[in-house]
Structure 1
Amino acid sequence: MANSEEQTPLMQQDEEEKDIYRGEKDPETKNADFVNQVNESTMAPLDQPEDVYVAQPEVPQRQPWRTGIFSCMGSHDEFVGSDLEVCVLGLFAPCVLYGSTMERLYPGRSTFSSHCMAYSSLYFMGHFLFNGNFLAPCFSFPSRSALRHSHNLQGCGESLVNATGCCSSLVRDEERLKRCESLLDFAAHLWCHQCALCQEAREIRRRTVHPAHRPRYCMTMAPPAPQVMSPSH
């Protein structure tokens, strides 16, 4: 009985404390909420992934043309005979020169005849309607862009930027540079059409072999099997 009488005041005190702190949270929960508030307000988020640097692939540097657009006789090297032929064809038969360039650029059975006939039709139509060769350049200027892309050559705009240093931001913007070079290719064929045809012909003759001189059949040979010497008895 004595023990029960001693415990009664203590139990009453516990009940009073529970009534006082009934609306509050447990100490562990209070501490956890406080830590979360501190982390959200003053500290960086936990477990934040670090920035990973990904190396961008290097763009291959474009090469300059081996002859200039006004180098009618080439650069007086071992291609002097071919350059003379190109000059004569560009002056008297640009349709044949254009067809030959396209035949080297896109080897195929009827590449020369189809491009030569299409160019000739536009050539005579332009002279008949406008008294000048104004239609064929609109048809032939994509060959200049295709040649630049296939052999990674510099365009007129990039060459001008590298020579003068102005408008250097144009070289860094690939899309703007591509549109600008296409317009310059069209302008080169429109205003200096025969010179542009000759430059393209000289360039592709220095870089590719005529389709007639390429081997038609290529026989693939398997490498020999590895041989192992057996130990002598």
Structure 2
Amino acid sequence: MYNGDAKPHPHGQWTTGLCDCCEDPGNCCLTCCCPCVAFGQSAEVIDKGNTSCACAGLVFYVLSYVGCVCLYSFTYRGKLRGLFNLPEEPCNDCCIHFWCTSCALCQEYRELKNRGIHPSLGWTGNEENMNRATTQVPPKVAPAMTR
């Protein structure tokens, strides 16, 4: 169960599965009741403040009535995967957002929280954590042989 602290995570792997929505009941309720808010909060952080929570949430809300919200929301899943070098699984991002929008939004929100980034705080509240989380450390290289 989610305890509010960043969990140790294997590099290049999701910290939770697509259908593990109940690991964070608060996130699950937010996403089920107000998916535009959950999406907006995540999008603002994923976009490093270039898109506001209100703007992303409003676009999500409008597109959900037109029936093509997945064409907008899946792009943020791709950006999140790029930030943390996550695999495109169990299938491509657009299909996940088309068939399982709520599960995808929950997983993305949890992923940020599990990595110590709290979407509800917005970009300014997470800027330092986000920069630290996405900074990649180069691998250690064995010393060269000497004579």
- TM-score (norm: length of structure 1): 0.45
Counterpart selection for 1:97 from 17, 38, 42: 38
Mapping of 1:82-121 within 5 angstroms?
83-108=24-49, 111-121=52-62
Q: CA deviation at 1:187?
A: 0.4
Q: CA deviation at 1:73?
A: 1.4
Say whether 1:122 aligns with 2:63: yes
Q: Give the equivalent residue in structure 2 for 1:196.
A: 104
Q: CA deviation at 1:212?
A: 4.4
Mapping of 1:123-142 within 5 angstroms?
123-124=64-65, 126=66, 134-142=67-75
Query: How far apart, in 1, do the equivalents of 2:29 and 2:94 lie?
Result: 23
Letter in 2 for 1:191: W
Give the SS at the match of 2:62. Answer: helix
Query: How far apart, in 1, do the equivalents of 2:59 and 2:14 lie?
Result: 27
Give the SS at the match of 1:156. Answer: coil
Cα 1:122–1:204 shift into 2, 3 Å:
same
Contact 1:98–1:116 (8 Å) recurs in 2: yes
Contact 1:65–1:203 (8 Å) recurs in 2: yes
How much is the aligned-residue C-alpha RMSD, in angstroms? 2.3
Letter in 2 for 1:84: P
Structure 2 unmatched ranges of 5 or more: 1-9, 129-147
Query: How far apart, in 2, do the equivalents of 1:154 and 1:143 lie?
Result: 14
Q: CA deviation at 1:72?
A: 1.2
Letter in 2 for 1:150: L
Taking only the aligned residue pairs, the percentage that are identical comes to 30
Query: How far apart, in 1, do the equivalents of 2:85 and 2:109 lie?
Result: 16
Say whether 1:71 aligns with 2:20: yes
Mapping of 1:1-233 within 5 angstroms?
63-74=12-23, 83-108=24-49, 111-124=52-65, 126=66, 134-156=67-89, 184-207=92-115, 208-209=117-118, 210=121, 211-214=123-126
Letter in 1 for 2:113: R
Q: CA deviation at 1:200?
A: 0.5
Contact 2:49–2:124 (8 Å) recurs in 1: no
Query: How many equivalent pairs are there?
Result: 115
Q: CA deviation at 1:135?
A: 1.1
| Higher relative contact order (CA closer than 8 Å, sequence separation 6+) | 2
Contact 1:95–1:116 (8 Å) recurs in 2: yes
Cα 1:114–1:67 shift into 2, 3 Å:
same
Query: How far apart, in 1, do the equivalents of 2:35 and 2:107 lie?
Result: 12
Letter in 2 for 1:85: G
Structure 1 unmatched ranges of 5 or more: 1-60, 75-82, 127-133, 158-180, 217-233
Query: How far apart, in 2, do the equivalents of 1:199 and 1:141 lie?
Result: 13
Query: How far apart, in 2, do the equivalents of 1:194 and 1:119 lie?
Result: 12
Query: How far apart, in 2, do the equivalents of 1:122 and 1:71 lie?
Result: 26
- TM-score (norm: length of structure 2): 0.69
